[in-house]
Amino acid sequence: MLGRALQEEDFSEAPGDTTLSDLRFRQLLSREDWEALPLPMRKRFSKRLSNGATVVYAGEVVETRFRVFGWLFAQLARVIGSPLPLFTDANVPAVVTVTEDVRTSGQIWTRLYARRNGFPQIIQSSKQFRGDTGLEEHVGGGVGMALTTHRADHALQFRSARYFVRLEGLEMTLPRWLTPGALTVTHLENGDGRFTFTLDIVHPLFGQVLWQKAVFRDASPHN
């Protein structure tokens, strides 16, 4: 019923703008929570890209912090494509690209984090609008997360509900000891076309094991 209501609702923020027609993130929140988010954020998460089109967000990593467990887990995760930050370089360039994925009807997110010494780290994942929470993020080796979506004051948050491995149509939920901990990604509007991204992972035994803050600015889509 919520999806039907959203489709019937006028997008009054930008009448006549056919690029603002993507309801996939919008339908993960109640109408009240969605409308409480800042307008630039709603536009950012409602921009429909044609198949293969890409949006680029450029900015910088402000800070990355690890505890020992978080650093070790990030290193071990290299075997599935290094889905977590590996280094603590601060105030270095970062680029995020979002590409529409015709195969999964989702999005490919590619994150490039520069380093002061050595090659940049590249993290890739696929966001798919499916599953019991309506949103999953897939990384390498069949590993993924079911994510729940929330409004936290004027920010948009994605929180891990569970981690899983899905291969050849078979799925297994990972036990907590095989996961880095509860993950929260926060998208906070800064104004003037800039926004802050924070990654926070909290383990039930070791506390906060990984935290990262980066600031980006809006950019135009590219085909």
* Domains by residue range for the chain, with CATH: 51-222 (2.40.128)
* Residues sharing a CB contact under 8 Å with residue 170, sequence separation 6 or more, in sequence order: none
| Amino acid letter for position 2 | L
pTM: 0.88
The torsion defined by the Cα of 125, 178, 176 and 75, in degrees rounded to 10, comes to -60
CA separation for the pair 44, 141 (Å, rounded): 30
Low-confidence ranges of the chain (pLDDT < 50): 1-18
Over residues 66-113, the pLDDT tens digits come to 999 999 999 999 999 999 999 999 999 999 999 998 888 899 999 999
